[in-house]
Every structure is written in structure tokens, then in C-alpha cells.
Structure 1
């Protein structure tokens, strides 16, 4: 795969490609500027390795529905939060740049935090670079992956991320219910069903 100097084609399905050569931070930022107007393409950088990923409509639908469902949960449970969306976590000195699909900050000091407490990845195309390593360098407390209808959760500990069964940040959240709603065919009904379920 080559990168053209004009706008690259927008692909219908999601794909990942890791560049076979190492790039300096300056080269990566130049590529980032080059692709800056291509909204369907996302770049990530880790110690000289660069990954480019296209985003499908299905990916974006799940991401937006998940954000709505979590918003309902926060409202119903009176949880104070700050959504930070896909805000880029980036630092040359850390050797990394990454955009989560969704991210959130919690707690009284949430607006003053540099990094989110929770990052979420919607996975349709696996492989590529070590996603958890990106977030470890920014000390993100929890990372969730949603893949094939199942959530996998990881909590940051002294030795790195450890897989957990239930969120430490959101212990009352029913992940099976959340996943069920993400797979419903009608988004409006999914929201209504989720709201009714968490109110009971």
C-alpha cells in the first residue's frame, strides 16, 4: 500500500496497515498533516512504528451508539463525567500518538486531568500495534475493547494492564446488557430498552 500526495481513497471497509519502515516523530507529524483532512483515516504512532486505519460506517455507528448508552447510564446513576471523545493522546517524549474511539474522565478533578480515566476501542479489524502500550504511557486507568459483541476490560496496575471481569470505574454497569443493546437492529429501541433496564 502506498500513500499518495493527494487525498487518499476512502475505503468502504475497515483496514489496518502498519508501515514497514520506522519513522521519526517529525516524519510522522508530516504524514499526519498530509492526511489531516481525511476524516475516515486515523493514524497512530509507537516508537517509530506507524499504523494507519480506515474507519467504516459500522464502526462509527457502534461508537456513537455506545456513547449514547453510556451517557444514559451516567445520567441515571448521577455520575459526574467529562467526555473527551477521540482527543489525541500524544507526546514526542513518550514516543506515542493515539486517538481512542471514546474516552472519559471521572472524579472531582476530572477537568484538570491530562489523560482520561477510561479509553474505549471498537475493534472490527484486529492486529497492528500494541494498543495497551499506548495507554500505559499515559496512565489511563481502564481500557475497554468491544469486539465481536463482547467487551474485554483491562485495569492499569503496577506491572501493566491486567484483564478484569467488571469495571473498577463503573462497577454497577451491566456489560452484558450494554453489549446486547449495541447489537440490536434498531438504535432507538436499544436506547429505550437500556434506559428501562437500568431504571429497574
Structure 2
């Protein structure tokens, strides 16, 4: 007996792994799950992972995404934020949904696009993963060619840059040169926990005003 996807329940903070999933099955699953689903999807060579984040995961995702947007706006840099858009490449049999992603240098390539097909357009310049309750596997992002991947864990922000097809850890962000982005993200995410989002964002804007 085949199970319907709607019969499958994945609790927050848990993951489900399915094997031998074809590309067409993946497309059908994404369509059935819909755009406003709680579960996030990662697919690689027939393996499909479904994960439902915990509330603390979502809070970190939102604040880090807000910090990036504010910084880009204050620097007067054009960008397109695509959130958890599904990044897909059928030829490579890869698909992944970051917690957040940004087109910066290549922002013109996605203006007006409703679906992101990496067979046709370049990958996002920056992807962000929150690894509070799970661990990001780099393979998808490496194969899709995402040049910069941020991982935020309980130990803080880690920046990974793609070099010759593999990620290496770095202490700077090419998208924010000469800005101590690791220290800033770590400090203001912590401030959000201590004093709340509004005060932390105001303090971050003051830092920008006084230092940039």
C-alpha cells in the first residue's frame, strides 16, 4: 500500500529521509507540499530529506536575514532576497531550500522570475543555513555552485567560500568586504536574545551609521 504524502507527519526539529525518489516524484512532492509549507526539502541523487525547523531556528533565520538586508540597503547595493526558494538543477539531480538566499551581483538575473532553475540562471551569491537543530550538508550547495554559504550554529557564524568546487572556511565575506560580518552577526543575534529584536536592530543601524 502506498502512503499519501499528506499522511506523513514530521514533527518540528525532526527529519525524514526517503530514498529512490525520481526527479518527477520530487517535482510532484514539491507541488503537493505547496509554497507555504512548514517542511524544508533537500534532494541529492535520489535521496530526499524533509525537515521541519524548531521556533528558535526560525527566529535566527529572520534576524540574520534582516541584518543582511539592512546592510545591503545601507551600502546602497542592489539585491534580490529569495528567502527559502527551492534551488534546483535537474541535470545535476540536486535541489535544496536554504533558510535564506540573496542574489547580489547577479540580482538582475532573477528580477521577475517566479521559479529558479539553475540550468538557466546562476545560483544565488549568498545562501544562509541555520544549523541549530540539524547539520547542513555542503554537497548540494557545492554542486549547485553557490559561491558563499553561511552556517549559523550554537557556536556562531561560519562563512564558507567555494574554491575549485569545494567549500573552505573563511573569516571574511566577499559580499561585505572590510566589514567584520562574523562578529556583527554573532553580536546582534545575541542582542536579540537579550533585549529583543527591535532594540537589537536599532543598535545595528547605529553601528552602521557610526562605522560605515
Could you say which TM-score interval applies, normalised by the shorter chain?
0.7 to 0.9
How many corresponding residue pairs? 194
Q: 1:71 Cα deviation (Å)?
A: 1.6
Contact 1:153 1:165 in 2 (8 A): yes
Query: Are positions 1:117 and 2:125 aligned together?
Result: yes
Partner of 1:194: 204
Distance 1:33 1:75 in 2: 33
Give secondary structure in 2 for the equivalent of 1:135: helix
Residue number among 133, 151, 164 corresponding to 2:157 in the alignment: 151
Distance 1:159 1:63 in 2: 26
- CA deviations on 1:137-186 (whole Å, 9 max, x unpaired) are 22211000001151111111114211111112212332212212112220
- CA deviations on 1:1-37 (whole Å, 9 max, x unpaired) are x9654354463x3222322x32222233333333336
Query: Are positions 1:104 and 2:114 aligned together?
Result: no
Partner of 2:34: 36
Distance 1:69 1:159 in 2: 28
Contact 2:157 2:185 in 1 (8 A): no
Distance 1:178 1:22 in 2: 39
Partner of 1:81: 79
Contact 1:84 1:102 in 2 (8 A): yes
Partner of 1:71: 69
Partner of 1:166: 172
Partner of 2:116: none
Structure-1-length-normalised TM-score? 0.85
- CA deviations on 1:79-130 (whole Å, 9 max, x unpaired) are 22221221211122111111111111223x5212532111110112224xx6
Distance 1:3 1:79 in 2: 47
Q: 1:134 Cα deviation (Å)?
A: 1.1
- Note the residue ranges of structure 2 that are not aligned, 5 or more in a row: 110-120
Distance 2:77 2:147 in 1: 17
Structure-2-length-normalised TM-score? 0.81
Contact 1:8 1:38 in 2 (8 A): no
Distance 2:32 2:103 in 1: 31
More divergent stretch after superposition (42-51 vs 64-73):
64-73
Contact 2:5 2:29 in 1 (8 A): no
Contact 2:41 2:51 in 1 (8 A): yes
Distance 2:170 2:178 in 1: 14
Distance 2:143 2:43 in 1: 12
